[in-house]
């Protein structure tokens, strides 16, 4: 009788050992998925795309691992759980990094917006000083049209900035800054030529390249 | 003692039997395609890193669908009784996912590389077009709408450059497409406008020849205004003596058709009145006989044919006057010279002096190659 009891206990213990860690880590999976969603909401795909792709790939690998364990007679979710914990941390870090990067881009866009507005204001002042001799005024008219186009582009960038799409806003401002700087150089060159007496006062501003 | 040994033997035998059963059960369990799934996941990740989601979207999406189908089927099989599971479908989907992802990856690398080259060429070509537009139409009176389209096109080109430098080729391509549309359309419009304008070149040439011959025959002064080069040329006895810069009506391209169109008329005219400083607000002025009979006839015909509304009125009071030197075409249709140059013209001109106004002395080919 004693032996039978002993054997029964041994069998139960064996089954318990073999099927230990047999519960699917659903809580951890949900938590990690939530963290990945949070990173997505933090625009990780825009601001830290490589890191975000790595997190997504980790999750895909873990889900395959979980599915593999589910296929087994005796399931072992221990390694998957550990990976889930690591991926959860990574997803949280990616979300934080994305927010930091977004803030960085926001600041850059803000500074660039302020910078281009200064250049545009300076261009307006330079236009009043630019030579208006033969064809000069006509070229100035064109510059005015181009400046109006740049101002419209800056307004669009401001709209994007206000909507929180800082990366797109920054790209737009960068392009507008190149155009505004070209005009600035053109005007300064034309004014310098007149002041330096290298050209007749009637000369038009340097031809745009 | 023997009893104890017997117990141990029974226990060992039971354990061995139990283990044998367990190993047998494990052995006959259907095995999922773990390796294949891992390969397809890695292939997908590589494809994404190679931006196949952008440059080989179709293949990449197909690969994703196959992978997801594999996962769904795997989970479906897992819900069945363990010995009834069949992972063949899962393995097939995984294989297809790997194949498509690898193709997408390769395709993406090659497409991105070709795309980069194409975009660079497109950027260079549009840079060339903007330079051409600037050279040819810098002072041409294009409408403000066309001017702002050109300006918008240039800004988009710059935005495309920024996107290109950041490796955002699809965004760069979108910007380039918009820029190309605006710039090409504006250039074609301006070019066809210019070509149409120069259709009158033979007429202008004829007028110039007549005017120069008249100056030669009468041994007197004649004035020719070249609108395209904005020159006022003074001929004496058939030879050009002076050349001054002239400023024209804001809308100088084409003949004057109606009052208020801000165009400078084209034709063979004569000076009919001279106004000194006391009689004009433009320093000094020489009034032309615009509209002449030919202009009146043309105006009447245009009204009759409905080209001009019945309420349209003919322009007039076209002069060569002072107050010029502003560097822009600013008059309502007159020809403006600087006051100094006006003095010179005023001195030699008299009532009856011919004034011929033409579009251009040079033909279109020469104008374009200037």
B327-364, pLDDT tens digit by residue? 778 888 899 999 999 999 999 999 999 999 999 998 88
Put simply, the chain B residues between 163 and 222 with a CB less than 8 A from any chain A CB are 163, 166, 168, 171
The per-residue DSSP string of chain A comes to: -HHHHHHHHHHHHHHHHHTTT-S--HHHHHHHHHHHHHHHHTTHHHHSHHHHHHHHHHHHHHHHHHHHHHTSSS---HHHHHHHHHHHHHHHHHHHHHHHHHHHHHHHHHHHHHHHHHHHHHHHHHHHHS--STTHHHHHHHHHHHHHHHHHHHHHHHHHHHHT-HHHHHHHHHHHHHHHHHHHHHHHHHHHHHHHTSS-TTPPPPPP-
pLDDT at A8: 57
Point out the least confidently predicted range of A35-39, A90-94, A168-172: A168-172
The alpha-carbon gap from A171 to the nearest alpha carbon of chain B, in Å, equals 7
The alpha-carbon gap from A207 to the nearest alpha carbon of chain B, in Å, equals 8
My answer on whether A170 and A115 are in the same domain is: yes
pLDDT digits (tens, 9 = 90+) for B207-222: 999 999 999 999 999 9
* Domain presence at residue A74: yes
Nearest CA in chain B to A150: B155
Determine the topology of domain B202-369 in CATH: L,D-transpeptidase catalytic domain-like (2.40.440)
My answer on whether A78 and A139 are in the same domain is: no
Given pLDDT bands bounded at 50, 70 and 90, which one contains residue A172? very high
Q: Which two tokens stand for residue B21?
A: 């059963």
pLDDT at A130: 80
The Cα–Cα gap between A178 and B70 comes to 50
Q: Which two tokens stand for residue B117?
A: 């080259």
Collapsed DSSP state (helix, strand, coil) of residue B29: coil
* Domain presence at residue A202: no
B89 CB within 8 Å of a chain A CB? no
pLDDT at A136: 65
Looking at A37, A71, A101, the residue that finishes a domain is A101
Q: Which of B29, B151, B326, B336 to mutate to probe the A interface, most A CBs <10 Å?
A: B151
Instruction: List Cβ neighbours of B219 (8 Å cut-off, separation of 6 or more).
Output: B237
Point out the least confidently predicted range of A192-201, B61-70, B100-109, B347-356: A192-201
My answer on whether A25 and A66 are in the same domain is: yes
B152 CB within 8 Å of a chain A CB? yes
pLDDT at B335: 93
pLDDT at A197: 45
Partner residue opposite B162 with nearest CB, options A137, A148, A171 = A171
Provide the percentage of residues in chain B whose pLDDT is more than 70.
99
Instruction: List Cβ neighbours of B134 (8 Å cut-off, separation of 6 or more).
Output: A207, A208
* Domain presence at residue A167: yes
Asked whether residue A43 carries a pLDDT value surpassing 80, the answer given is yes
**CATH code of the region B116-198:** 1.20.1270
Asked whether residue A198 carries a pLDDT value surpassing 80, the answer given is no
Helix B144-165 with A136-163: angle, nearest 10 deg: 50
* C-alpha distance from residue B314 to each of A194, B318, B352, B358 (Å): 43, 12, 22, 19
Domain of residue A94: give its range.
20-101
My answer on whether A53 and A131 are in the same domain is: no
The answer to whether residues B159 and A175 touch, using CB atoms and an 8 Å cutoff, is yes
Looking at A67, A101, A135, the residue that finishes a domain is A101
Q: What is the residue extent of each domain of chain B?
A: 2-110, 116-198, 202-369
My answer on whether A182 and A134 are in the same domain is: yes
Q: Which of A135, A175, A200 to mutate to probe the B interface, most B CBs <10 Å?
A: A175
Given pLDDT bands bounded at 50, 70 and 90, which one contains residue A47? very high
Asked whether residue A101 carries a pLDDT value surpassing 90, the answer given is yes
Looking at A66, A84, A101, the residue that finishes a domain is A101
**Three-class SS of B280-347:** CCCCCEEEECCCCHHHHHHHHHHHHCCCCCCCCCCCCCCEEECCCCCCCCCECCCEECCHHHHHHHHH
Q: Which two tokens stand for residue B141?
A: 């009176």
The answer to whether residues B215 and B237 touch, using CB atoms and an 8 Å cutoff, is yes
What mean pLDDT do residues B154-172 have? Answer: 92
My answer on whether A95 and A113 are in the same domain is: no
What mean pLDDT do residues B146-159 have? Answer: 92
Is the pLDDT higher at A207 or at A31?
A31
pLDDT digits (tens, 9 = 90+) for A1-16: 555 555 555 555 555 4
The Cα–Cα gap between B37 and B29 comes to 18
Point out the least confidently predicted range of A127-131, B105-109, B113-117, B292-296: A127-131
Partner residue opposite A172 with nearest CB, options B134, B159, B327 = B159
pLDDT at A10: 54
How many CB atoms are closer than 10 A to CB B281?
A: 10
Asked whether residue A209 carries a pLDDT value surpassing 50, the answer given is no
My answer on whether A108 and A179 are in the same domain is: yes
* Domain presence at residue A27: yes
Q: Do B138 and A139 touch (CB under 8 A)?
A: yes
The Cα–Cα gap between A6 and B28 comes to 30
Quick one: DSSP state of residue B141?
-
Collapsed DSSP state (helix, strand, coil) of residue B79: helix
The number of distinct structural domains making up chain A is 2
My answer on whether A129 and A190 are in the same domain is: yes
My answer on whether A120 and A181 are in the same domain is: yes
Given pLDDT bands bounded at 50, 70 and 90, which one contains residue A186? confident
Query: How many CB contacts within 8 angstroms connect chain A with chain B?
Result: 136
The Cα–Cα gap between B98 and A10 comes to 46
B289 CB within 8 Å of a chain A CB? no
Q: What mean pLDDT value characterizes chain B?
A: 90
* C-alpha distance from residue B364 to each of A166, B143, B192, B194, B204 (Å): 48, 21, 12, 8, 12
B245 CB within 8 Å of a chain A CB? yes
My answer on whether A92 and A107 are in the same domain is: no
* Domain presence at residue A129: yes
């Amino acid at each position: 009788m004693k032996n039978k009891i002993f054997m029964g206990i041994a069998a139960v213990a064996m089954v318990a050992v073999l099927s230990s860690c047999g519960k699917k880590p659903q809580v951890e999976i949900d938590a990690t998925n939530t963290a990945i969603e949070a990173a997505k909401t933090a625009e990780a795909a825009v601001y830290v795309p490589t890191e975000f792709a790595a997190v997504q790939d980790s999750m895909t690998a873990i889900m395959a691992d979980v599915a593999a364990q589910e296929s087994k007679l005796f399931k072992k979710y221990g390694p998957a759980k550990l990976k889930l914990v690591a991926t959860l941390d990574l997803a949280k870090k990616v979300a934080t990094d994305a927010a930091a990067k977004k803030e960085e881009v926001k600041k850059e866009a803000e500074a660039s917006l302020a910078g281009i507005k200064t250049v545009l204001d300076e261009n307006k002042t330079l236009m009043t000083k630019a030579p208006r001799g033969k064809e000069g005024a006509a070229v100035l008219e064109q510059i005015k049209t181009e400046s109006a186009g740049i101002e419209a582009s800056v307004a669009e960038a401001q709209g994007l900035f206000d909507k929180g799409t800082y990366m797109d806003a920054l790209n737009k401002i960068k392009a507008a800054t190149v155009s505004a700087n070209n005009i600035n150089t053109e005007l300064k060159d034309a004014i310098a030529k007149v002041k330096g007496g290298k050209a007749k006062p009637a000369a038009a501003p340097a031809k745009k390249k | 003692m023997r009893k104890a040994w017997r117990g141990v033997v029974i226990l060992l035998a039971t354990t061995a039997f139990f283990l044998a059963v367990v190993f047998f059960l494990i052995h006959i369990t259907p095995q999922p395609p773990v390796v294949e799934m891992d390969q397809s996941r890695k292939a997908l990740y590589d494809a994404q890193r190679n931006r196949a989601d952008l440059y080989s979207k179709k293949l990449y999406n197909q690969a994703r669908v196959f992978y997801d189908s594999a996962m769904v089927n795997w989970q479906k099989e897992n819900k069945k009784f363990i010995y009834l599971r069949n992972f063949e479908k899962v393995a097939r989907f995984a294989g297809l996912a790997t194949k498509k992802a690898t193709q997408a990856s390769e395709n993406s690398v090659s497409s991105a590389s070709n795309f980069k080259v194409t975009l660079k060429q497109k950027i260079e070509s549009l840079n060339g077009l903007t330079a051409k537009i600037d050279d040819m139409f810098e002072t041409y009176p294009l409408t403000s709408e066309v001017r702002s389209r050109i300006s918008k096109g240039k800004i988009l080109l710059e935005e495309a450059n920024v996107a290109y430098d950041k490796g955002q080729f699809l965004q760069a391509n979108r910007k380039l497409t918009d820029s190309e549309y605006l710039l090409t359309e504006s250039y074609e419009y301006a070019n066809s406008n210019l070509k149409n304008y120069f259709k009158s070149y033979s007429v202008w040439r004829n007028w110039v020849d007549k005017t120069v011959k008249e100056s030669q025959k009468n041994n007197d002064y004649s004035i020719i205004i070249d609108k395209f080069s904005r020159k006022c040329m003074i001929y004496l006895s058939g030879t050009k003596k002076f050349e001054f810069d002239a400023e024209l009506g804001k809308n100088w391209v084409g003949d004057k058709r109606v009052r208020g169109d801000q165009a400078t008329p084209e034709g063979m005219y004569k000076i009919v009145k001279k106004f000194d400083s006391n009689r004009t607000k433009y320093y000094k002025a020489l009034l032309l006989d615009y509209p002449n009979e030919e202009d009146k006839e043309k105006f009447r015909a245009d009204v009759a044919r409905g080209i001009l509304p019945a309420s349209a009125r003919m322009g007039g009071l076209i002069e060569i006057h002072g107050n010029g030197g502003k560097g822009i075409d600013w008059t309502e249709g007159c020809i403006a010279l600087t006051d100094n140059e006006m003095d010179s013209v005023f001195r030699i001109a008299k009532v009856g002096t011919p004034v011929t106004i033409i579009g251009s002395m040079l033909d279109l080919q020469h104008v374009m190659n200037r």
